[in-house]
Structure 1
Amino acid sequence: MPRTLIVLAHPEKQSFNSSWAQASAQASQTEGHEVMWSDLYALNFDPSEKADHYASARKDGYSDVLKAQEDAADTNSLPEDVAQEIAKIRAADRIIFHFPIWWFAPPAILKGWCDRVFAQGALHTIDQRFDNGMCEGKTVLFCATTGANSAESAFNGKEGDVRMLLWPLAYTLRYLGFDVLEPRVLHGIHGYHEGANEVALKARLRSELEGHAQTNSQFESLPKIVFNADTEFDAEGSLLPDAPSHSHFIRQKS
C-alpha cells in the first residue's frame, strides 16, 4: 500500500493550515494511501539540535553535530523522537507539508525538524545525496499560506518572491534525493479581514478545501521544480559554463 506522510507546522488546530492538512489526509486515504502524521506542535517536537540529544556527542570537550548524528545512526542510538520521524520518511512515498510563511520563511519548528531529523548517516551521506540521495523516488509537495496578497508575493512583489522564499526548504529536500513539486501557495490568509473581505476569504478557503481532492488526485502529474543535475557541476562544485541556470540561487555569472 502506498503511504503519504503529512507534516503540519501550525500551532492552531482550528487554523486553515490544519484544515488543509486534514483535506490532504482525506484525499490520500480516498486514493488508497496509508496516511502517517507528523503534527509538529502536537508532538511538542524539540527543534533545537544540540549535544544533549546524544549520549556520546562530546569528544575532547567539543561537539560536532554531523559526527554525533552519524555515530548515533551507525549504532541505532538516535534520539527516539528523531528515529520515529526518520521511520516515517523512509516508509513514505509522498510527503505533503502544510505550513504558513512567517517572517519570509517556514516556521522555525519546521526548520528545526529538518536540522534534527535529516540526520547524517540516516538520511544522507557524503556519497548519497542529490541525484544519488537516499530518498530518490519519493515526492514532496508544499501547501503553504502567506499573509501577503498574491501581488506582494510575486517575483516583483514587496514581500519577495514566495518561490524563492521556499527554495531553501525545497533544496534541502532535493539534497536528500526527493523530487519536489511546484508549491501550492494560497495568499492573504490572516485574521484581519472584515466584512465583505472576510466573507470572500472564507468562501475562497472553502472552495480550496472542497477542490483539494482533485488537486491531490493529480499528484503524479503536477509540475516539478527543476534543479541542476550533479553532472552539471565541476569537481569543485561550481556550475559548468554551459549548464542552464534554474534559480537565482545557482546561476551563471552575470
Structure 2
Amino acid sequence: MHAHIVFAHPEARSFNGALADIAEETLAAQGITVTRSDLYGELFDTVEGPAHYGERADEAYFSALAEQRHAGNARTRPADVQREIDRLTAADLVILQFPLWWHAQPAILKGWFDRVFVYGELYTGRRRYDEGHFRGKRALLSVTTGGPAATFSPYGRGGPIERLLWPIHYSLHYMGFDVLPPFVAHGIQGGGIAYEQRDVFEQHLDGLKRGWAERLNTLDSARPIPFTGWQDWDDHGVLRADHPLRWA
C-alpha cells in the first residue's frame, strides 16, 4: 500500500499541518508508505495558461484541453505537473488536506485540479466517472473549518458541509476515484470558545487529532460515497427513467 497526501495550507505548523503529520505517522505505523505534495512549500503554479507550453498544438489560439493532450503526446508536459501525476499514479490512497476558505478549497488546490488532471492521458470524453483513469484507487478529504459543526448542518449559517464539499468529491469521482466520506475538523479557530477557556479549546483540538488517527486506522471498513455511473444514465446523460433513484 502507498498513500499520497496533497497538503494545501501555507503554514506547516498549522492545525492542517498537524493533521498531515498525523496521517503520515498513522499510515506508516500500518506499514503503508507515504509521500506528500506541499503545494505552498513547493511553490506549485496554480494558473493554467500558454506559458506552460513551449511547443504548442496551436500557436494562434490557446485551448487548455488541446495543449494538455498535445504536451502529453509529445512528452513536453510541464515538470511540476508530471511530478504530481507520477505521485498520484503511484498511490493507492490520496488524501487532500486543506482548510475550507470562502466555502471551498484554497485557490492553490483548485489550480492543482486544473493543471494536474490533464485531458488525454487522465481523462477523455468516455474515460471518466466509474470508468475513469484512477478507478480502484481511493481518495479522502481531510478538511478544517473555523466554525463549529452545528453551523455546517443542513440549516446552519455556514451551509451544509456535504454540499460545500460536493464539487470536490464529484471531481474526484469524475477521475475514477472511490471517494471515501470526508473527515471534517470543525471549530479549529476557537469555535466560539472564549480565551479564558483555552484549556477547553486545546482539549477540543486534541480530540480532533485522536478522531483523525482513529479514522485512518479504520479505512478498510469505510464504504465509498455512492455516485451514479455510465450504466445509470440514458443517451442524453440523464438518470434513466426506470432507475431506482427516480423513486427514492
CA distance in 2, matches of 1:151, 1:244: 32
Secondary structure, counterpart of 1:89 in structure 2? helix
Paired position in structure 1 for 2:43? 44
Does the CA contact (< 8 Å) of 2:3 and 2:93 recur in 1? yes
Unmatched tracts of structure 2, length 5 or more: none
Unmatched tracts of structure 1, length 5 or more: 246-251
Please give the residue correspondences for 1:228-243 in structure 2 after superposition, counting only pairs within 5 Å.
228-243=228-243
Paired position in structure 2 for 1:137? 136
CA distance in 2, matches of 1:86, 1:69: 13
Paired position in structure 2 for 1:214? 214
Does the CA contact (< 8 Å) of 1:27 and 1:212 recur in 2? no
CA distance in 1, matches of 2:206, 2:2: 26
TM-score, normalising length: structure 2: 0.94
Which residue identity is paired with 2:235? A
Residues 37-80 of structure 1, C-alpha deviations (whole Å, 9 max, x = no match) = 10111111111000110113362511010010001111221100
Q: Structure 1 residues 156 and 40 mapped into 2: Cα distance closer, same or farther (>3 Å)?
A: same
Does the CA contact (< 8 Å) of 1:54 and 1:79 recur in 2? yes
1:180 is aligned to 2:179: yes
Q: Structure 1 residues 216 and 188 mapped into 2: Cα distance closer, same or farther (>3 Å)?
A: same
Identify the range of structure 1 (39-48 vs 209-218) with the bigger mean alpha-carbon deviation. Answer: 209-218
Which residue identity is paired with 1:236? H
Which residue identity is paired with 2:188? I
Cα offset, 1:122, TM superposition: 2.4
Please give the residue correspondences for 1:30-179 in structure 2 after superposition, counting only pairs within 5 Å.
30-57=29-56, 59=58, 61-179=60-178
Paired position in structure 2 for 1:25? 24
What do you get for the CA RMSD once the two structures are aligned?
1.7
CA distance in 2, matches of 1:58, 1:179: 33
Higher helix share: 2
Q: Structure 1 residues 109 and 214 mapped into 2: Cα distance closer, same or farther (>3 Å)?
A: same
Cα offset, 1:244, TM superposition: 4.8
CA distance in 1, matches of 2:151, 2:55: 48
Alignment length (residue pairs):
246
TM-score, normalising length: structure 1: 0.91
CA distance in 1, matches of 2:244, 2:108: 34
Percent pairwise identity: 38
CA distance in 1, matches of 2:35, 2:161: 27
Identify the range of structure 1 (132-141 vs 55-64) with the bigger mean alpha-carbon deviation. Answer: 55-64
Cα offset, 1:241, TM superposition: 2.3
CA distance in 2, matches of 1:9, 1:171: 19
CA distance in 1, matches of 2:161, 2:56: 37
CA distance in 1, matches of 2:139, 2:47: 24
Q: Structure 1 residues 213 and 158 mapped into 2: Cα distance closer, same or farther (>3 Å)?
A: closer
Q: Structure 1 residues 236 and 49 mapped into 2: Cα distance closer, same or farther (>3 Å)?
A: same
Which residue identity is paired with 1:98? Q
CA distance in 2, matches of 1:211, 1:235: 44
Residues 180-218 of structure 1, C-alpha deviations (whole Å, 9 max, x = no match) = 011111111216854344322211211232343332121
Which residue identity is paired with 1:199? D
Does the CA contact (< 8 Å) of 1:57 and 1:64 recur in 2? no
